[in-house]
Amino acid sequence: MTEQPLIETAALEAALQQFADERNWQRFHTPRNLMLALTGEVGELAEIFQWLTDEEVAQLADDPARFTHLQEEVADVLLYLVRLASVMKLDIDAAVRDKLVKNACKYPAPGTETQRI
């Protein structure tokens, strides 16, 4: 794994901070509030998939209105997740890197087992 970042969120974190500042919303953006808001958005994302077969999901991209709705809900989940991480002063890229290393150790790829010795 290189030392290049895997994900860069600084500009988004700054935009969300500014958005909250301009509306005086910092007082609402406690971690527990953001966690509940994240849960709400995850629910809206799940609703998109709830009655669809895998085939119907694959065709979702062919329907611009529904694909836009999917984009919005993915964005909403991401916005609250990044905001939560930001408020907790958590380094998102470092968290992601560390977790991928742990996942690679937990689930070694076939053919890499000998490297674990």
SS3 93: helix
Pick the closer one to a second copy by CB: 89 or 117: 89
Both tokens of 51, joined, read: 């009655």
Vertex 41 angle, CA 64 and 107, to 5°: 95
Task: Give the phi and the psi of residue 95 in degrees, each rounded to 5.
Answer: -60, -40
Pick the closer one to a second copy by CB: 112 or 114: 112
3 binds a second copy (CB under 8 A): no
101 binds a second copy (CB under 8 A): no
| Spatial separation of the C-alpha atoms in residues 43 and 45, rounded to whole Å | 5
Of 59, 65, 75, 106, which lies in the binding site for a second copy, with binding defined by CB under 8 A? 75
Closest CA to 16 of 90, 116, 87, 74: 87
Pick the closer one to a second copy by CB: 88 or 117: 88
Pick the closer one to a second copy by CB: 32 or 116: 32
Q: How far is the CB of 116 from a second copy (least distance, A)?
A: 14
| Spatial separation of the C-alpha atoms in residues 43 and 48, rounded to whole Å | 9
Site for a second copy in 8-27 (CB under 8 A): 8-9, 11-12, 15, 19, 22-24
33 binds a second copy (CB under 8 A): yes
